[in-house]
Amino acid sequence: MERQKALLIVGSPKGLKSTSHVLGSTLLEKLKSGGMVAEEIIVGAALHSEESLEKMQGALEEADLVVFSFPLFVDQVPAPLIKTLELIAHRRAARRPEQQQRIMAIVQCGFPENIHNQPACGTMRQFAREAGFVWAGILAMGMGGFIGGRPLEKAGGVVRNVVKALDLAAAALLRGEAIPDEAAEIMGKPLMPRWLYMVAANWGFRRQLKKRGTRKQADARPYEA
């Protein structure tokens, strides 16, 4: 029996250094451990030339499972990934693969609350429906800034729910099932208290300002009367 193929498409402009890649590749490794053949593609590189775009389209047509992993941009899917989805949908409208294909997504945002991801979740579900994929579910999380592109094993026990959610999702996908509600619920739990995340986020922001020599602008109020 031929081994099933999984394709990871990373929609973050940061590519291999992104949290999106960390989450997606972690899931991919679990799928590989379960017997799947896996490949990954970075959206930015795929859009770089007609040749690389054609390579991505070919890999996608051969995949049994496609995993999209991306960050939230304000409240939606990043523009380069939207373009990629449009190109995929256009091609499938003219030439749809004979085999049934599943897709799922992982989305994370820097906001403390997971609810900000909901519009992007809806976009991915609609894409699956219109492009003729079988929807396998989505994992969404807030406080993604804490991971900051680090491997999950270096992020400590704070990400234990993330790891558990990916474990549950991988097990279901390997059985040919959709992501269970339990996995989505666990993934959406806050990594830490909101106040603690905000303290860490503000510290990181001010650190970046200092690094760029703009620390004094942090407390500027140019529009106050």
The answer as to whether 220 is a domain residue is no
The answer as to whether 160 is a domain residue is yes
The answer as to whether 221 is a domain residue is no
The answer as to whether 177 is a domain residue is yes
pLDDT tens digits, one per residue of 109-160: 999 999 999 999 999 999 999 999 999 999 999 999 999 899 999 988 999 9
Question: Confidence band (pLDDT; 50, 70, 90) for 30?
Answer: very high
The answer as to whether 225 is a domain residue is no
Region of poorest pLDDT, from 39-43, 76-80, 173-177, 213-217: 213-217
The answer as to whether 141 is a domain residue is yes
Domain housing 135: 5-213
pLDDT tens digits, one per residue of 47-66: 989 999 999 999 999 999 99
Assess contact for 68 and 105: CB atoms under 8 A. yes
In the chain, the N- to C-terminal Cα span, in Å, equals 72
Token pair in block for residue 218: 């942090």
Q: pTM of the full predicted structure?
A: 0.91
Identify the pLDDT of residue 225: 57
Residues in the chain: 225
SS3 126: helix
Domain count, the chain: 1
The answer as to whether 223 is a domain residue is no
Identify the pLDDT of residue 90: 93
pLDDT tens digits, one per residue of 153-205: 998 899 999 999 999 999 999 999 999 999 999 999 999 999 999 988 787 77
- Report how far residue 110's alpha carbon sits from residue 142's, in angstroms, rounded to the nearest whole number: 6
Q: What CATH code is carried by the domain that includes residue 149?
A: 3.40.50.360
The answer as to whether 204 is a domain residue is yes
Max Cα–Cα distance, the chain, nearest Å = 72
